Amino acid sequence: EVFNAKIEANEITMTQISIELHDNLATQLGLTKMTLHVVAEDAITEKQAMVIEKMDNMLETVIDDLHNISHSLNSNFIINKGLIAVLKKELDVFESQKQIAFSFVVNGEYISLGHESELLIYRIGQELLHNAIKYSQASEIALTLTYSPSFFTMEITDNGIGFDKNIISEMNGLGFFNMHERAKHLGGTLDIQTGASQGTKITLQVEYDKHSNTVNITNG
């Protein structure tokens, strides 16, 4: 119950931040971009015009990034789009900004896991992808979703430097505790295979509820 309350509070806070980013900052940046267009009309030299155009392109990038961040924080957006779509969008954003080769594969036919479960799975996947990009020094990252008759599996692998599993408890900044708690809340398992200079493979596996084709949510 405490974990349920924590998750709900976190999602409410992130959704509120998402709305502020979209309705306030994005609007202000849009107005700034419009003002820049007015200034461009009065550019006297070619150099001035080039600088203004460069600033306009930079603003466009910031606005796009802001929208992407806003979407990734908003639980309602994630629920409405669905797990596969939001994870694909997350990878598309990373691929446009990082010198990393990403791959995304979906095996089997999609089975709905329920809104709450898919939100938890997305947050786990989001954290794992951020960690791989930030810490692994990988040149390739692969995300695979598998819908088998009995289990849903999400696997994230990279060809990076790996790490020592024995010191996970000391790696507070990586959020492994929260990911394990989310996996436990789903009634699933989070398996980590890694080692120094061996890359990393992290697998989330969740069993479907035999009666409703959704996962069991536990309160443990």
Highest mean pLDDT among 18-22, 87-91, 137-141: 137-141
Cβ atoms 191, 177 nearer than 8 A: no
What is the C-alpha separation between 83 and 80, in angstroms, rounded? 9
| Arithmetic mean of pLDDT, 110-132 | 86
User: Which of 64, 76, 75, 71 has its CA nearest to residue 88?
Assistant: 71
The pLDDT mean for the chain works out to: 79
Kindly give, in sequence order, each residue whose CB lies less than 8 Å from that of residue 156, ignoring residues fewer than 6 positions away.
125, 128, 129, 132, 141, 142, 143, 144, 201, 202
pLDDT in tens, 157-206: 999 998 877 666 555 555 677 788 888 888 899 998 988 778 999 999 99
Cβ atoms 73, 18 nearer than 8 A: yes
pLDDT for residue 216 is more than 50? no
Give the predicted TM-score (pTM) of the model. 0.66
pLDDT in tens, 29-79: 777 877 877 777 777 888 888 888 888 888 877 777 776 666 666 667 677
Residue 220's pLDDT is 34
Pairwise pLDDT comparison (115 vs 70), residue with the higher score = 115
> Helix, strand or coil for residue 220?
coil
Query: At 20, is the pLDDT very low, low, confident or very high (cuts 50, 70, 90)?
Result: low
Pairwise pLDDT comparison (136 vs 25), residue with the higher score = 136
- Share of residues in the chain with pLDDT > 90 (%): 20
